[in-house]
Structure 1
Amino acid sequence: MSTITHVDSGDSDSDCSIGFSLLFGDDSAAQIDSPMALPYAAINVHSYVPMKLDFRADNFSKWKACFEALCGTFALMSHIDGTAPPNPLTPLWIQEDCCVRSWIYSTISDAVHDFIMEADPTAHKLWAGIAARFWANRAPRAIFLSQAFMTLTQGDLSVEAYGQERKKAADRLRDVGRPVDDTMMVLNLLRGANPRFSSSCDIIADDPDITFSSALDRLALKELRLAEEAKLVTSTALNASTPSGCGSSGRSSMPPPPQQLLAQQQQQGGGGGGGGQQRRKRNNNRKGGGGGQQPQQPRAPNPNGPWICINPWGQQGQAGGFGGGGQGSRGGGQQRGGPGLLGSAPQAHTAVAAQQSGGQAQWDMAGLVAALQ
């Protein structure tokens, strides 16, 4: 069993090493000389930077703000702001720089990673390469971004969504070195608002000290009021269109539909017809006497004819003497023969059904054929 002996204060360093060696083994002295594990080396970086930087996402401003907040929390801003590293490099500085580089790699997309990858990188080199890529062509981009900011309108968007789009457009301009002040934000917000907010926009424009957030809140309040008024109008229209009861009977005051009126008229007409038949039966009984009803003679069936085709010239010839066999006029009984002014009178063709015999219709087929020709 090893024991610790009393040593003088002059040899305290060497004696401490001997004492640790006796208590914890020979490797404990080497562990004291190595740098200690950093407390922030194992943190979840996505809790501090919740988005991934991407060329298509247009989120460099948000990513930059979150990453700078993370480095400032653990006093590591010197690794990205261009502060000169110590010379020579210390193990602690190398460990901190590796930690910052791992945070950068974890919060960028593969496309950004491929663009900034280089040999022997440091955290500051990676940070500068990302900023240079997203800040490239700032002047041409500022022209297009300014046009997009000025022409942005609300359309069918809600006030909240419209305000977010307006703020994103202003952030893009700030990234290219063209920040937008609060007054221009308010004026452009009112210019692109929906026409139904025109009255509220006039009131907001009269306030010279209003901020963008306050103007957005007023428009949101107006939007809420308009929505409530629309609900009230809808409920009122529904109540007006609902049929209400009339009197104590509780029947509807609305007229019946046309189908119901037509059915009632048909029922009334049928009832009237039935009453007329009963009256005709009573009249027949009175005519027959009080002794009872007389037997009715059977009626022969009606023929399908007669079909009669009469020539008016033939009738005139028989009545007035147009034909050769007619009688004369009143003047002397002299017959008027020969063809008339329009020529000879045409012959009359008559097709008449024959007399009924045996209850069946007999037709003069020769006369019918002649009439149809």
Structure 2
Amino acid sequence: MPTENHAAQSPDEILAFIEAFARITVGNIKNSLSTSIKNTHSDLGNQIPLNWTESSILKACGLSAKQVGNDPEQAAERYLHIQTACTTSKYATAIKKHFLKCTGLSKKQQKTLFPQLVAAKPSQDTKAISQEVARLNEWLDWVRVGDFQPENFDVYRQNIKTHGQTQNVSGAIGTAGAVIAFVDAIRHLNPNAIVDSVGEIPPPNVRSPQEISDWRTRIGTTKSITKALLLKNGRSLVFATSKDANIFQSLDRPFTDATEALKKFNKVKNNQSARSQTLHEFAVGEIKTATDLSNLHERMGLASRETQTELRTDRFLMMAVLNREILEGGIQQRKMNSRDLTRFSHTFNLHHCWGWDGGRERHPTHWNFFLDNVKTWCGL
């Protein structure tokens, strides 16, 4: 199984991907909430004297005098102070937990994006703490855009339905990113190769997770993101099925359009024997947008088990987060050569291939690796 180093992301790239997705999920939560609840921060009182005037201290908080204004109590309600972040008292811990809750992030996302603030005992690295405090305060300002009250996130934590809907949105955005990667690759190899589609292909000006989310809102529920593509040579790509991506062609007559290809695939998708008698499959892939760094091996293992019955075709994994520890083995030597994961013939980094923030240019070797395989699988 190819596990080339060029599939890995840097720590900064991983954070950028997780934050971009987190903004989508948290934005979706904001849109679903309307009930305001009590501000629990004010109930804690003001047990730490805070300096909201000295410029160097404000800088350590990522704030300006304009943001703080002339009301220290109001500033304490809105922002986490660096003095609080560096304090180990029960009160300081409660304040940090309160502001972390106000981000709308899950506990796993909080731990990934703000490890210093989540830690039970603050480290001695004041620079790292200051950076997280500044990022947290910037995030809180972003959350409050449109007069949204961050305390409303407590409503979300009690709403399982909203949580499920949010996960579906995240998966849909990730699938759209994979669609963009394949469509761009095909058009790069042959601008006229795609002759028909089922569902809307994201336009050229829609690339980032936020742009995709906004675009999905604009097109409404009557239209869907790409479900199938038909190429001039008769091959078809189907997305968002029992397997996330499939490339195949008919074994009898060519498909007349993408709708026929999708219908024919759906008819046999759960029957491997019928599929092998009806379709020639060039590749079957799993698209995983999991961003929990502690659970990536389990997610990849699940993906491999989902594709283990396809024994006569290439099987690829397109993963949202891939760091060098996973690819090369870290302290525990857990790398992608386990029994489950060897079932994948190819591994791609979704972030690099999606390329909304320049990933293709930063990682040209990996992009060319993806292009070469798309060329083979799609017969271009």
Report if TM-score (shorter chain) is over 0.5: no
TM-score category by the smaller chain? under 0.3
TM-score scaled by length of structure 1: 0.19
Q: Which has the higher strand share?
A: 2
Which structure is richer in relative contact order (CA contacts within 8 A, separation 6 or more)?
2
Larger Rg over CA atoms: 1
